[in-house]
A and B are shown apart, each in its own frame.
Chain A
Amino acid sequence: MFEITDEAIKKIEKLLLPEGETFDDDNGERSEVIKCIDESIDVNASPGSGKTTTLLAKLFLLAEQMPFKDGKGICVLTHTNVAIDELKLKVGRQVDNLFRYPNFFGTFQKFVNKFLAIPAIIFLEGRRPSYIDKELHDKIISDIRYVRGFNQNIGKKAFHYLFTYRNREKLTLCFDDHENLCITDEIDGAPLEIRKPRSNQHNDWSSVTKDEISRWLIAFKKTVLFDFDVMSFDDAYFFALSYLRSTPISEALSKRFKYVFVDEMQDTYSHQEKILNEAFDDSVLIQRFGDPHQAIYNSVSVENIWMPAEDALTISTSKRFGENIT
């Protein structure tokens, strides 16, 4: 195993930081984070502490060592394309191999599509999906009631339910405890409990009707997925998790990537964290960089907010690093 030396870090400062700035800080925190390359860690960074630049320096120094002896790659997961573009702009020319096979560098969604959701559809349907697109998906869902035949018999009740009561675009598939296909409104969540809109226990639908509606909703979802050939991002996660759970692909993923780095871990949804946990085993070094205080508001409930592990490394300086030199 190689190690990252102080000289190497000095060299990278010149490339990444403005003239005169340095990764040095009072407690040697950044250098510790950069040098830590043989264990899984959380990095708890304070706002404005420059965690992304620190991660970048680390990636740069690792990429210089590639190809690794075992031929494995690096997987870098981000939440936005902005972050990727920024990274490419800064270091792309020097270490372009970072963005190529056998590495992966992209958003969670792209990772899920590429390695899990698309292969899952190929496995099921023998062809790749045409669209993984939230906007198109949502438009089809809202327009579909105008399609003849959909709005008849039980479909009428199901539409009534769908369009008065639920966040219909969130509708996706799930499995219940008995591996039966069900409908849910939360990725990897529990099956939906169907109730007649604005009803009470006296004028609610019968359980037979509810079953029928449930089956209708599943068939409806399948039509969108396989006939319209359009899936939402949530659907992609459903297929990704199913693929991970029904095939040995996680073992291959774990042999493919030596490191997994997550940027802005605090913005990670629970279903994304599930992917992270289920795709990679203990042999993969997973390093999660985040700032729990900076979690952008999302609909995920409070208990799902990322908390760094107790032995997390920290980058605590709240000042812009470099400023303390002058």
Chain B
Amino acid sequence: MYLSELKIWNFRKYGIRDGEQIRNDNPALIVKFNSGLNVLIGENDSGKSSIIDAIKHVLLTQSHEYLKFDDKDFFATNKSRAEQLKIECTFQGFKNSEAANFLEWIGFDEKGKYKLNVWLTAKRKNNRIIADVRAGLDDEGSPLDGEARDLLRVTYLKPLRDAEAELTPGYNSRFAQILRSDDLFVKKKNNQGEIEKHVLEKYVKQANDLIKDYFKSSQLKENSLLGITKNTKGAKHVQDSIIGFLKIFFEEGQDIKPFIEISGSDLTDILRKLSLNLEENKSGLGSLNLLFIAAELLLLQEGETGLKLALIEELEAHLHPQAQLRLIDYLQKEQKSRQFIITSHSTTLGSKINLKNLIICQGEDVYPMGKVYTQLDPNDYEFLQRFLDATKANLFFAKGVILVEGDAENLLIPVLADLIDRPLHRYGVSIVNVGSKALLRYAKIFKRLDRKSMNVRVSVVTDLDIQQKIDKSKNIEPKDKVNLDAEKSEKISSLEDTFNSNGLIKVFPSPRWTMEYDLAEGQLAPYINRAIHIAQLIKGRESNNRSCFKSLKKDDIIEKCKDADKYLANQRELRDDKSFLACKIYEKLYKHHASKAVTAQYLSHLLVNNPESDGEDETYKSKVKEIVLNDEQLSYLRDAIYHVTKPADSNV
């Protein structure tokens, strides 16, 4: 059995609509869990802890932690605070032997599988909070018996654990509690119905007998087993002198028999005296934490009856990234009928977790990323998973995402964003380069099947890919413009059909062909032309072993810029036409004389630096800015940036 769903009404920030009564069909939050690992990831105050606390309130903890509602647990608007809250846990995946424990409350779902709902309602009344726990598959249910509820207790690891204190012997020893939850440490009755001595109690009794003997004898008996030789002294004189004093203090005739022993020979006391150690010397906090988690996992052993659910808050607490990864890797693989619900704001963890195990907490809702929840094709998941390892964090923790198909866009867009006063970092926007046009379909991960919409704006930047005329030697000439507009609008609407969704996800296609071509057809033509020439020089050097590590000097750049300008002027003499010139500029990239990535890198450079001047050249910069803000060919990139930051007509 496992916790398959959590529903919340009016608990903390998860409030139902003002004025509505709590009904089965209007929970403020529904979280679906899978039977293995679930990782809740989100910023501070995104609701991770509230979800964990809600579960704890209904199911209680193995450590019998004292849990109590206070007024602040009830959802409040600025007008009023809710009078009533409800938290419901649904369990599924029962074995018959597990269902047996909940027969009075269990039922079947539409598929004929066992299902159990357990809910807690709490009411504020006369400054008191009254909570009630019921279970059943109908609205009314019946009270859940305490013993049955005990079978649902969760193992809970709180954030900022003090592992050392938890593992240290003492009255509050967590280790003792953990041990006692194992059946071996529960005392048994014999045939007469009397409680039997536990093995550890027998051991301690033997030790105590020896100790008593030690304080009674002045000469100990030889014992080869314990390595005690003849003539070993006992401590009789200590006990004798105590007795001597006591005889003076007490009245004559009173029988005083003090004795010395290991105190607390009862099983509970013995367990509290035990400590779990890793090495003789004091271990670091990180190791202790791992040790502690290992001890807690004892509670989830196979064979233990009841729910096997561990809630771990901030798994990363005190663990360095490598240890986090090992642990999450273990938890991901090792899920034999144990369930983990873990919270984290570690992006390191986020990148290691399978999408199916990931639940994003954001705003007033949660977004599980498993394949049943998004419109992404199930076959794409595996690929996306591999691809995402490094960039997933960017994808899911950003407030906005620009999805691009290549390095060039990846390099250039941030520069353009700066130039139009929409610096991406200020808006929490990340660019994710999926590396190929085909993979832009990954944007569908943001399109959800559960009718929720993640509050993440997504711009998909792509080429329209309408080529010009290309001959066999890859020379490019403008094509006839017949039917161009029809072809364009057909392609655009097909892209929009694929990507656009609920106003949050939008596609921004380039005006005609590729980004480089389209820039070359606009006012940035001289700039991209220069960048291509520089990139061409670098490409030439790369193919020459001797000069490949030679760095590009300022003079090289100036010279190449001059070459580039001359090239453009020559072409213009041939035919002064925007499209023709763009074809000629782009030809070099198309023929692979220069790399697109390097071109983009130098274009970015040229947009903010005048190669001919040292230091800042404000006139140069403002001219570029003017172009970037107004060039029609750039409008799709501007709009893509505005979509994930702020509209053009609003000021920062």
Contacts and interface: CB of A to CB of B under 8 A. Distances in A.
Interface of A: 2-5, 7-8, 64-65, 69, 71-72, 100-102, 114-115, 119, 122-123, 126-128, 246-249, 251-256
Contacts of A119: 106-107, 137
B191 interface: yes
Among A4, A65, A251, A252, the most chain B Cβ lie within 10 Å of the Cβ of A252
29 contacts: A8-B191, A8-B192, A64-B193, A100-B145, A101-B147, A102-B101, A102-B148, A115-B104, A119-B106, A119-B137, A122-B107, A122-B137, A122-B138, A123-B107, A123-B137, A126-B137, A127-B140, A128-B138, A246-B112, A247-B108, A249-B103, A252-B94, A252-B97, A252-B100, A252-B103, A252-B114, A254-B100, A255-B97, A255-B99
Given A119-B107, A255-B97, A247 B138 contact: no
B305 A65 contact: no
A242 to B, nearest CB: 13
A114 B104 contact: yes
Given A64-B189, A126-B138, A255-B99, 17 more contacts: A2-B191, A4-B191, A5-B192, A7-B192, A65-B189, A100-B145, A101-B104, A101-B147, A102-B101, A122-B107, A122-B136, A128-B138, A247-B108, A249-B103, A252-B103, A254-B96, A255-B100
Contacts of B140: 127-128
Nearest to B139: A127
Given A5-B192, A126-B138, A247-B112, A252 B106 contact: yes
B149 to A, nearest CB: 10
A72 B193 CA distance: 18
Contact of A256 (B94, B100, B108, B191): B100
Contact of B191 (A3, A72, A126): A3
Interface in B84-127: 94, 96-97, 99-101, 103-104, 106-108, 112, 114
Given A71-B101, A127-B140, A101 B145 contact: yes
B148 A123 contact: no
Contact of A253 (B100, B114, B147): B100
A252 B107 contact: no
Given A64-B189, A101-B147, A101-B148, A127 B138 contact: yes
A69 B108 CA distance: 28
A246 B108 CA distance: 11
B450 to A, nearest CB: 23
Contacts of A114: 104
A296 to B, nearest CB: 30
A139 B305 CA distance: 47
A4 B191 CA distance: 7
A65 B137 contact: no
Nearest to A129: B138
Nearest to B102: A252
Contacts of A128: 136, 138, 140
Interface string B243-272: 000000000000000000000000000000
Nearest to A257: B100
A71 B108 CA distance: 23
Interface in B172-215: 183, 189, 191-193
Contacts of A123: 107-108, 137
B528 to A, nearest CB: 66
Given A122-B138, A127-B139, A251 B192 contact: no
Contacts of A71: 101, 305
Contacts of B183: 69
A5 B100 contact: no
A251 B96 contact: yes
Contacts of A256: 100-101, 103
Contacts of B101: 71, 102, 256
Interface of B: 94, 96-97, 99-101, 103-104, 106-108, 112, 114, 136-140, 145, 147-148, 183, 189, 191-193, 305
A8 B305 CA distance: 30
B101 to A, nearest CB: 7
A252 B99 CA distance: 6
A96 to B, nearest CB: 13
Contacts of A101: 104, 145, 147-148
Contacts of A255: 96-97, 99-100
Contacts of B145: 100-101
Contacts of A115: 103-104
A275 to B, nearest CB: 14
Nearest to B113: A248
Contacts of A2: 191
B140 to A, nearest CB: 6
B130 to A, nearest CB: 23
A122 B136 CA distance: 9
A13 to B, nearest CB: 15
A50 B502 CA distance: 78
Nearest to B189: A65
Across the A-B interface, the 6 shortest Cβ-Cβ residue pairs: A256-B100, A255-B100, A252-B99, A251-B96, A64-B193, A101-B145
A279 to B, nearest CB: 11
A251 B447 CA distance: 42
B147 to A, nearest CB: 5
B239 to A, nearest CB: 41
A255 B305 CA distance: 13
Nearest to A115: B103
Nearest to A63: B193
Contacts of B305: 71
A3 B192 CA distance: 9
Contacts of A122: 107, 136-138
A80 to B, nearest CB: 22
A3 B96 CA distance: 28
Nearest to A61: B193
Contacts of B104: 101, 114-115
A97 to B, nearest CB: 10
Contacts of B148: 101-102
A101 B140 CA distance: 20
Nearest to A252: B99
Nearest to B194: A64
Nearest to A121: B138
A251 B114 CA distance: 12
B96 to A, nearest CB: 4
Contacts of B139: 126-127
Contacts of B97: 252, 255
Contacts of A248: 96
A3 B147 CA distance: 26
Among A3, A126, A246, A255, the most chain B Cβ lie within 10 Å of the Cβ of A255
A127 B183 CA distance: 38
A116 to B, nearest CB: 10
A321 to B, nearest CB: 24
A239 to B, nearest CB: 13
A253 B104 CA distance: 10
B142 to A, nearest CB: 8
Contacts of B100: 72, 252-256
A198 to B, nearest CB: 46
A128 B108 CA distance: 14
A8 to B, nearest CB: 6
Nearest to B97: A255
A251 B103 CA distance: 11
A64 B188 CA distance: 12
Nearest to A247: B108
A251 B96 CA distance: 6
A208 B407 CA distance: 79
A253 B138 contact: no
Nearest to A253: B103
Contacts of B136: 122, 128
A72 B96 CA distance: 13
B283 to A, nearest CB: 37
Contacts of B94: 252
Contacts of A247: 108, 112
Nearest to A69: B183
